[in-house]
Amino acid sequence: MSEEVIKTDGLTKVFNKHLTAVDHVNFSVKHGEIFGFLGPNGAGKTTTINMLITVLKPTEGKASVLGFDIAKQHDDVRSVIGVVPQEYTADEDLTGLENILLCADLYGIPHQVSKERAVDLLKLVELTDFKDKRVETYSGGMRRRLELACGLINRPKVLFLDEPTLGLDVQTRTATWDYIRKLKKEFGMTLFMTTHYLEEADALCDRVAIIDHGKIVVVGTPEELKHSLGGDIITLSIKEDPDVSDLIRSVENVKEVKNENGSYRIKAEYGEVTAPFIIEALRKKGYTVTKLMLTEPTLNEVYLEYTGKSMRDTEESAEAFRSQRMTMRRARA
């Protein structure tokens, strides 16, 4: 088996002839790694995943999963992958166990085998006590775990997770991360996940690709990406009105200054040493620094750097998405 489990070559999806959701994307995922697809909502993450899991046909370009062409050998691809979709797709009227067995049936797994596996999987996701309860009585976290169990029933070599923790509370999210880490360790599985939670990508992923407007802007390990920013971030505000960007820029080791509505975002090497010099330079000209914050780069900064969007924008749309999901759930009830 090749080291590259997933490989794309100019993968493109155009909807309705003019809406380019994914634009000539090239990347590869190595065996046994957790690969994160990070980007704002509408960046093309889900479209990419849907092409890789053979639900959408690419408009242009090629991709392969475990060496199988996603367009020509889709049945082979389908039988070796597991999918944990963004939505809660389990059937509400059926019990947890019935849902898992239904998934098993869809893969053609014989009943004796699927029953054994279901018991193991229910234990893994800690739903054994609820297996005979209808899914409509499950909480969000339980549903997410059930989706995970369904996605694992065919012992996939590659697991695709689309926003695995969207809309979950902090505890459940952390618990889900633990499951994902466990999967990687116990089954040596390759995982491909999308997320717009930066801390999630930072905590879980071996490598991250940032995608925006259907294009991959950067790929690397979280460490590499942070390092690529070349320095720390100093955020400061001054009491006075005039723009002092040029003054700050003249300080040694300062690489970049951005004035964001009176708050200055400064990229500087050796931030802890440079910050006092900046304060000194400002004071000499009669300005008073009211607030100063020094941060080592996180994926947050990387994200901002490459997508040009602050996290708040995407958080808001996530909020909208969640409320939409609530409506759907109500419609289902």
By CB under 8 A, residue 57 contacts other proteins = yes
68 binds other proteins (CB under 8 A): yes
Supply the minimum distance, in Å, between the C-beta of residue 56 and other proteins: 6
When binding is defined by CB under 8 A, the residue of 17, 18, 19, 75 that contacts other proteins is 75
Q: Return the half-sphere exposure (C-beta side, CA atoms, 13 A cut-off) of residue 213.
A: 5
Tokens of 202: 């930072």
- Does 318 help bind other proteins (rule: CB under 8 A)? no
Residue 66 lies near other proteins (rule: CB under 8 A): yes
- Least spacing, CB of residue 108 vs other proteins, in Å: 3
Closest by CA to 97, choosing from 123, 122, 116, is 122
One-letter identity of residue 196: H
Percent helix, percent strand, percent coil in the chain, to nearest 5: 40, 30, 30
3-state secondary structure of 60: strand
The residue with tokens 């019935």 is 98
56 binds other proteins (CB under 8 A): yes
Binders of other proteins among residues 142 to 161 (CB under 8 A) are 150, 154-155, 157
| Nearest CB to other proteins, comparing residues 80 and 281 | 80
In the complex, least distance from residue 282 CB atom to other proteins, rounded to whole angstroms: 54
Q: How far is the CB of 81 from other proteins (least distance, A)?
A: 7
> Comparing C-alpha atoms, which of 77, 74, 82, 58 is closest to residue 156?
82
What is the smallest separation between the CB atom of 112 and other proteins, expressed in angstroms? 12
DSSP 230-274: -SEEEEEEESS-S--HHHHHTSTTEEEEEEETTEEEEEESSHHHH
By CB under 8 A, name the binding residues for other proteins. Answer: 50, 53-57, 66, 68, 75-76, 78-81, 83, 85-89, 91, 93-94, 98, 102-103, 105-110, 113, 150, 154-155, 157, 328, 332
